A and B are shown apart, each in its own frame.
Chain A
Amino acid sequence: MIAMTHAGYVAAGWIGTFALLGGYAWTVVRRGRKLSRQVPAAERRWS
């Protein structure tokens, strides 16, 4: 791990991937929470 070649590229790729996925997931969950308050409970069919 420490002696890894191209460590900068590998780190950028992995950190970028999980940062993008995490950021997008957080955005989707936040939008869902906001919209859930505007929509009647009967229309939220999941539990």
Chain B
Amino acid sequence: MTATTSARTDAGAPGQPADGAAAAPAHTGSRATRVLGILALASSALLVLYGLVISPPDVEMADSVRLMYVHVPSATYLYLGCFFTTFASAMWLWKRTPGWDALAEAGAEVGLVFALITLGTGSLWGRPTWGTYWTWDARLTSTAVLTVMLIGYLALRRLDLDPGARSARVAVLGLLLVPNVIVVNRSVEWWRGLHQGSTLSRIDPKIEGDMLVALMVGFLALGLIFAWLMIHRFRVAWLEQQADRFDLDEALALRRAEASEPSDASEPSDASKGTA
């Protein structure tokens, strides 16, 4: 126990910060994330104003077009989360440094949140527009497969394995996310289905005026939220790694203390013999 306590104190235990780290906060926030958070909240308020009040109903979709202002940006940030995970997985396989592993985990988890928003808002848009919440359209099916892959990736991360082996396995799975993103993105061109084609990635976009502004504000607001979540989630993953490392250090210190106990314990008994 003594060795454990000293190991923590040397590194700057909670409540007893190490030299030069006295200002380290007991949370994952920083000045940058506070600014980012305020901007995210302000742009979200602007999104509500533009998306629900200012922008007019669509001629074909009527007011259900308002779901597109969160659906399309969410799908984009789902892709971005997958890109982060694949890139960080490749970097982890190359460099084997814990920061890349933490970034890969953050990208997958935040990406999953945006995947659920994409599927949820898409289903709610599909019911009044297509007459059904779900159909086995190529875009919908490939997005569902991507979501299941993200769930599988995060489940694999929680398996009780050797940390190095676990990181290697999830990194290989992480490499498969971007190829699937390409399939999702191209699916509307490769297969015929109900889902509409690209709205913005053309020289002549299909929407304009206040509707285009609302969509752009949607990209801004959800982009800021995505960035805020990524930074906080990366720091949580980093803290988890450090906590695991300190738990391992504690366990080793405890084992060493136990190993040295028999010789320590024998002394009092000898002494007691002598006294007797």
Q: What is A's interface to B at a CB cutoff of 8 Å?
A: 1, 4-7, 9-10, 12-14, 16-18, 20-21, 24-25, 28-29, 31-33, 35-47
B229 within 8 A of A: yes
Contact of B246 among A4, A12, A16, A38 (CB under 8 A): A38
Indicate whether A47 sits within 8 Å of B243 (C-beta atoms), given known contacts A24-B113, A28-B232: no
Interchain pairs with CB closer than 8 A, number = 153
Report yes or no: A9 in contact with B14, Cβ–Cβ below 8 A.
Answer: no
Report yes or no: B70 in contact with A33, Cβ–Cβ below 8 A.
Answer: no
Query: Which residues B48-89 have CB closer than 8 A to chain A?
Result: 48, 51-53, 57, 62-64, 66-67, 70-71, 74
24 A-B residue contacts at CB 8 Å? A5-B63, A13-B120, A13-B121, A14-B67, A14-B70, A16-B117, A21-B113, A21-B117, A24-B229, A28-B28, A28-B229, A29-B29, A32-B235, A35-B236, A38-B246, A40-B8, A40-B18, A41-B17, A42-B11, A42-B17, A43-B239, A44-B24, A46-B29, A46-B30
Indicate whether A31 sits within 8 Å of B236 (C-beta atoms), given known contacts A24-B113, A36-B26, A44-B21: yes
Report yes or no: B52 in contact with A14, Cβ–Cβ below 8 A.
Answer: yes
Interface SS of chain B = helix
Report yes or no: B232 in contact with A47, Cβ–Cβ below 8 A.
Answer: no
Shortest C-beta distance, B156 to chain A (Å), equals: 19
Q: Which residues on B sit within 8 Å (CB–CB) of A16?
A: 117, 120-121, 124
Given contacts A4-B66, A10-B67, 15 further A-B contacts (CB under 8 A): A5-B62, A13-B67, A14-B51, A16-B117, A21-B229, A28-B229, A29-B27, A37-B26, A38-B14, A40-B12, A40-B21, A41-B18, A42-B24, A43-B238, A46-B235
Q: Which residues on A sit within 8 Å (CB–CB) of B8?
A: 40
